Structure 1
Amino acid sequence: MGSKNGSKPATTPANQTDALVQHMRDSMLPGDTPFSPEGMKDAAEYVTATAQQRKFGEIAMRIESVTEGHRYTRIAIVNDDMPFLVDSTANAISALGIAIDRLVHPVVPVDRTKDGSLSQIYEGEPDDAYWESMIYLETARVDAKQRRALEEELQTTLADVRAAVQDWSKLQEQMKADAAAIDDDEGSALLEWLESGMLTQLGHVVRLRDGSQQNALGICRAGEPDLLVDSSFERAFAWFEKADNHRTPLIIKANHISRVHRHVPLDLFIVPRREGKKVTALSVHAGVWTSAALAAPPRAVPILRERVDRIRDRLNFDEGGHAGKALVHAMTTLPHDLLIGFSEEDCERVATTMMALVDRPRPRLSLVEAPLARHLFAFVWLPRDMLATQVRLQIKSLLEDSAAANLLDWSLEVEGGNLAMLRFVLDIRDGAKSPDEALLEQQLQTLLRGWSEAVENELGTMVEGGRAAALAIRFAEHFPTAFRARFGPREAAEDIARLRGLGIHADDAEEDA
């Protein structure tokens, strides 16, 4: 086949490499890690070799570790061009704890023979060529076992990407159909709003009462066939059959992390399908909120806009007054993807807690149990100056110990002012009960406002003041977070007093000897 629109074809591996070098150079941004001419040509040769054989709809991938000179691992992935390839690939690698040192992503015009052999790489940008994604990465060096795990994860991730992209229009049709079918006006408006580009739709499945599934689309026919475990589906059926549960759709978080676009827990929107009053099936939509949706003002988001008005009216806030504006600010700052799944009472409680902290930042905590008793959400506010990795890890341990549950996800939000908000998600599906919020709040205050001071105060009731301060300085910080959360400063002080007593007796014994 000749050149297209005057573009020069590169038909030999050497010429293909030269053409790819130019495409790689053109794809790089000014802030990218500098690439020497020799290094870029070597990378282009590696990608070209990987690209020599690939059929439409398949992936050509190569991973190898370089041991000469600078030790690193390099990856070449050749694929049909489609959305979400680069971010999904980078997320998959980072999720395995592998640092990415370089990423170059040219989209390249090519021709292939019927058997998938690479026959040409075009220079320039011909209008009628077939375009392929060619991703080149350099990472920290990994061993053979890690390479196998990495390749498996990348294959699964890219299969999810392909399935979601291929079924995109069908996913939209399913959400439109469910939006038209439900009676809840705000719920219907929410699905229409999400379908308009506010949700990256990734999967859909219909779950029948007998446990079978139909109409699997996107990731549900690829790497995520089961969005929820059987017990959670049964809880969802029961939830819709309760007379006092009129909210539709039911909005929850999955435990599965999205492999496509954003590495976050999947958002699920569940719509019942009924025969009379009996729920016979659940239509489940899976996706992740877009950045635009998360940043949208609450008055632009169906369901949230209604809640803002009802909470404001119930609390007699003037819309233009300080409290009314503070409520809108809190509802804007709190994560929409969580807030919209809460009950109105929980929304009000969390929002008003945050309102009280904006002008006077201080440590506070609020807990919310998600629908179906699957997740416990903990919102922790603290002054920005208190924020540190060690503090976050201590709070995490405090929550896990108090709830007897494992952490699934966390995020951090720091506003322009002096207030930071940590959000934790804990898995309580195994029946773990929500901890006593008042007690947990007290433990948080002790943790953040001065464990040593609290221990010193308790020691002051057991020994004289100067000795209490010295003992607290010497011993208090050695108590682990789990001990602090479970037993508190009083038990710690008693243990320190016992240690001191043992030391005194040891000194007396030495003198007697």
Structure 2
Amino acid sequence: MTDTSNIDELVAPIIACLDQHLGASDLDRASVYVREFMAHVPSAERGRLPASRWAELIARQYQQLKKRTRGQTLVNIGSSELSDGDHRHTVIDVISGDKPFLVDSATMAISEFNLSIHLVVHPLIKVQRDAGGFLMALFPAAKGNEGQTESVIHFQIDRQSDPGRLAAIAQRIERNLADVSLAVRDWRAMMDKASEVAESLPSQKSPYPEAVMAETSAFIHWMIDDHFTFLGYRYYEILRTEVGIELQAKDDSGLGILGLDGPPGSRRTLSNFDPDHPKSISESAPLVLTKANSLSNVHRSGYLDYVGIMAFDQAGVLVGEHRFLGLYTSAAYNRRPWNIPLVRTNVNSVIERSIFTQDSHGGKALLHIMETLPRDELFQASPDELYELVTGVFDLQERQKTRLLVRRDAYGRFYSCLVYIPRDRFNTETRQRIQEILMQAFGGERIDYTVQIAESILARLHVIVRVPANAEPVENIDAIEAELVEAVRSWHDRLKDILVTKYGEETGLSWSDRLGGAFPAAYIEDVSPWVAAFDVENLARLESADSLRMSLYRPRDKES
């Protein structure tokens, strides 16, 4: 946030020090930049460095501005260190044309190295250059339309001294910002292509009903309406060859981050893919919504959202795929499911298949479950998968029970696992145990997770397990769930079960509630729940404060 209070008093001593670093011909232009830069430095940070050090830092940025040519992105790293009390930080300066997503994407690159960012300053400056790119003048970014807006991003990060690591950080920032440039350059063309595809769908002959084609068209228009950040597009042709079904990228069709097409004519053979029966690929609509195999380098971390739209010829034969990569926007994740084309169809399908009407208590409960599910599940699940998922959650009925609900990606690239756990059992150790079990059970290569803990008595852990290509489907979901149930159970859970088994439900639960929490941590560490059940019985049968009961036994291993 820009803070111009006391700006003249702040910049005067800094400008006075500039002549130690710049020639006389640069001082006036650099003075304009000093004001813009310091106005973007947080107030709490301005006094951390003396004027001479700010002048040195700003003069170096100004020299990079002079050096930059049109279209160039400069990343300057490690040439100076700044002291912060007892710590010294490494400086990164990124100079480029102004574009969306610059700060987010550069920050993502730095974060991949597990580095803390101590300061970010992002001034914009209007720059006038001659035909050869030589710097002629600088103006405040807010002053009219003089010159082109250029961006300077200043980071201060944990101190780094290894040249190889510094070079790797710079290369990672450059790669991310190169993707930003490609996406921004072709943004309008991708939007136009999406609009063109959407307009063509209702009139295409296909195996899908006209209403479904119209709803798919509406979904694409919904994406265009600020619900999807388009980052890449490419058209793929489906070829029927002697070796099988092959997918070939159409030359010169790529846009954005998919604009760098592979070798001309490059193909990929597809298994388990029948283009003559499109509904075997996607039963409900002529598109596939999933996650791509590649991680985003732009805007925010995570796997890219994949939207594959089928293309049919005049005979209704599937001949290709329009593939869009990008990220759903925050507006998309905040929309109610019944206001999203295609998703609303699946939502209505769940209600229609249930025994409830939409305005009944049960119907409202189903709608609430769908509204609070991870939004990616609503986008990616088929109608049948969504029904199984929603009814599985509904059947829990707020019971203190561990439950696993699994959905396999349409292309078999990952498993989406929703694990519901009693909230008082959920902690970091439990989460890690669950992730280890799921990783091993599905043969995963990578795992990602999110956690939701709300007013419900159940915590929800959403785990995405990425698996190797062509991995066989995992069918023994019940066995995996049983393993999770055992992993989540605590010492007190086991004691309660033993008491109920030995003494009946009423007595066992009563003793568990009254005495199960009375044992100290050292006792729990050393004594098994089975042995503790005898101590609970002795405690429960004491008749008065003066009563005495004794239990003599030969101790065995805790797990015996």
TM-score, normalised with respect to structure 2: 0.74
- The structural deviation recorded for 1:136 is 0.3
Q: Match for residue 98 of structure 2?
A: 81
User: Is the Cα–Cα contact under 8 Å of residues 381 and 421 in structure 1 kept in the other structure?
Assistant: yes
- The structural deviation recorded for 1:406 is 2.0
User: Is the Cα–Cα contact under 8 Å of residues 82 and 89 in structure 2 kept in the other structure?
Assistant: no
What is the identity, as a one-letter code, of the residue corresponding to 1:274?
A: F
Q: Match for residue 136 of structure 1?
A: 154
User: Is the Cα–Cα contact under 8 Å of residues 65 and 71 in structure 1 kept in the other structure?
Assistant: no
- Structure 1 residues 148 and 432: alpha-carbon distance in aligned structure 2, compared to 1, 3 A threshold: farther
**1:150 maps to 2:169:** yes
- The structural deviation recorded for 1:315 is 1.1
What is the identity, as a one-letter code, of the residue corresponding to 1:339?
A: L
Q: Match for residue 19 of structure 1?
A: 32
**1:180 maps to 2:199:** yes
Q: Match for residue 94 of structure 1?
A: 111
- CA distance in structure 2 between the aligned counterparts of 1:362 and 1:302, rounded to whole angstroms: 34
What is the identity, as a one-letter code, of the residue corresponding to 1:444?
A: L
Gaps of at least 5 residues in structure 1 are: 1-9, 462-468, 477-495, 502-513
**1:335 maps to 2:390:** no
Structure 2 counterpart SS, 1:101: strand
Where in structure 2 are the equivalents of 1:230-379 lying within 5 Å?
Answer: 230=268, 235=273, 237=275, 240=278, 242=280, 245-275=283-313, 276-357=315-396, 359-360=398-399, 362-379=401-418
**1:122 maps to 2:135:** no
TM-score, normalised with respect to structure 1: 0.81
Q: Match for residue 57 of structure 1?
A: 71
- Structure 1 residues 338 and 12: alpha-carbon distance in aligned structure 2, compared to 1, 3 A threshold: farther
Where in structure 2 are the equivalents of 1:386-465 lying within 5 Å?
Answer: 386-428=425-467, 429-450=469-490
- CA distance in structure 2 between the aligned counterparts of 1:62 and 1:414, rounded to whole angstroms: 42
User: Is the Cα–Cα contact under 8 Å of residues 412 and 473 in structure 2 kept in the other structure?
Assistant: no
- The structural deviation recorded for 1:132 is 0.5
Query: What are the Cα deviations for residues 92-131 of structure 1, in whole angstroms up to 9, with x where unaligned?
Result: 2112322211111011112223333333222473212211
- The structural deviation recorded for 1:197 is 0.9
What is the identity, as a one-letter code, of the residue corresponding to 2:111?
A: S
- Structure 1 residues 272 and 313: alpha-carbon distance in aligned structure 2, compared to 1, 3 A threshold: closer
Structure 2 counterpart SS, 1:409: strand
- The structural deviation recorded for 1:416 is 4.6
What is the identity, as a one-letter code, of the residue corresponding to 1:174?
A: K
- CA distance in structure 1 between the aligned counterparts of 2:380 and 2:91, rounded to whole angstroms: 42
Structure 1 counterpart SS, 2:294: strand
Deviates more, 1:114-123 or 1:182-191: 114-123
User: Is the Cα–Cα contact under 8 Å of residues 65 and 141 in structure 1 kept in the other structure?
Assistant: no
- Structure 1 residues 207 and 393: alpha-carbon distance in aligned structure 2, compared to 1, 3 A threshold: same
Query: What are the Cα deviations for residues 17-76 of structure 1, in whole angstroms up to 9, with x where unaligned?
Result: 432232123234568787545354343223222222111111122011545754222111
Structure 1 counterpart SS, 2:380: coil
User: Is the Cα–Cα contact under 8 Å of residues 234 and 249 in structure 2 kept in the other structure?
Assistant: no
- CA distance in structure 2 between the aligned counterparts of 1:47 and 1:68, rounded to whole angstroms: 15
User: Is the Cα–Cα contact under 8 Å of residues 376 and 434 in structure 1 kept in the other structure?
Assistant: no
- CA distance in structure 1 between the aligned counterparts of 2:100 and 2:456, rounded to whole angstroms: 36
- Structure 1 residues 133 and 235: alpha-carbon distance in aligned structure 2, compared to 1, 3 A threshold: farther
- CA distance in structure 1 between the aligned counterparts of 2:150 and 2:261, rounded to whole angstroms: 23
Deviates more, 1:383-392 or 1:190-199: 383-392
User: Is the Cα–Cα contact under 8 Å of residues 187 and 230 in structure 2 kept in the other structure?
Assistant: yes
- CA distance in structure 1 between the aligned counterparts of 2:434 and 2:374, rounded to whole angstroms: 20
- The structural deviation recorded for 1:410 is 2.1
- CA distance in structure 2 between the aligned counterparts of 1:57 and 1:415, rounded to whole angstroms: 47
User: Is the Cα–Cα contact under 8 Å of residues 412 and 470 in structure 2 kept in the other structure?
Assistant: no
What is the identity, as a one-letter code, of the residue corresponding to 2:254?
A: A
Q: Match for residue 382 of structure 1?
A: 421
Q: Match for residue 505 of structure 1?
A: none
Structure 2 counterpart SS, 1:197: coil
Find 1:196's aligned residue among 207, 225, 238. Answer: 225
Deviates more, 1:21-30 or 1:97-106: 21-30
- CA distance in structure 2 between the aligned counterparts of 1:199 and 1:61, rounded to whole angstroms: 29
Deviates more, 1:15-24 or 1:164-173: 15-24
Gaps of at least 5 residues in structure 2 are: 1-21, 203-212, 240-247, 502-520, 529-554
Deviates more, 1:331-340 or 1:38-47: 38-47
Query: Which of 1 and 2 has higher RCO (CA within 8 Å, sep 6+)?
Result: 1
User: Is the Cα–Cα contact under 8 Å of residues 274 and 281 in structure 2 kept in the other structure?
Assistant: no
Query: What are the Cα deviations for residues 366-404 of structure 1, in whole angstroms up to 9, with x where unaligned?
Result: 100111222211011224443333322221111011111
Which structure has the bigger radius of gyration?
Answer: 2
User: Is the Cα–Cα contact under 8 Å of residues 159 and 222 in structure 1 kept in the other structure?
Assistant: no
What is the identity, as a one-letter code, of the residue corresponding to 2:418?
A: F
- CA distance in structure 2 between the aligned counterparts of 1:359 and 1:208, rounded to whole angstroms: 48
What is the identity, as a one-letter code, of the residue corresponding to 1:146?
A: R
Query: What are the Cα deviations for residues 327-374 of structure 1, in whole angstroms up to 9, with x where unaligned?
Result: 122111112223221111211222233334574454322100111222
Structure 1 counterpart SS, 2:254: strand
- Structure 1 residues 291 and 423: alpha-carbon distance in aligned structure 2, compared to 1, 3 A threshold: same
Percent identity, aligned pairs only?
24
**1:473 maps to 2:533:** no
What is the identity, as a one-letter code, of the residue corresponding to 1:198?
A: H
User: Is the Cα–Cα contact under 8 Å of residues 290 and 306 in structure 2 kept in the other structure?
Assistant: yes
Query: What are the Cα deviations for residues 185-235 of structure 1, in whole angstroms up to 9, with x where unaligned?
Result: 221111110111100111100112352333100011259999x99456874
User: Is the Cα–Cα contact under 8 Å of residues 124 and 149 in structure 2 kept in the other structure?
Assistant: yes
- The structural deviation recorded for 1:405 is 1.6
Deviates more, 1:32-41 or 1:346-355: 32-41
- CA distance in structure 1 between the aligned counterparts of 2:357 and 2:49, rounded to whole angstroms: 63
- Structure 1 residues 65 and 221: alpha-carbon distance in aligned structure 2, compared to 1, 3 A threshold: same
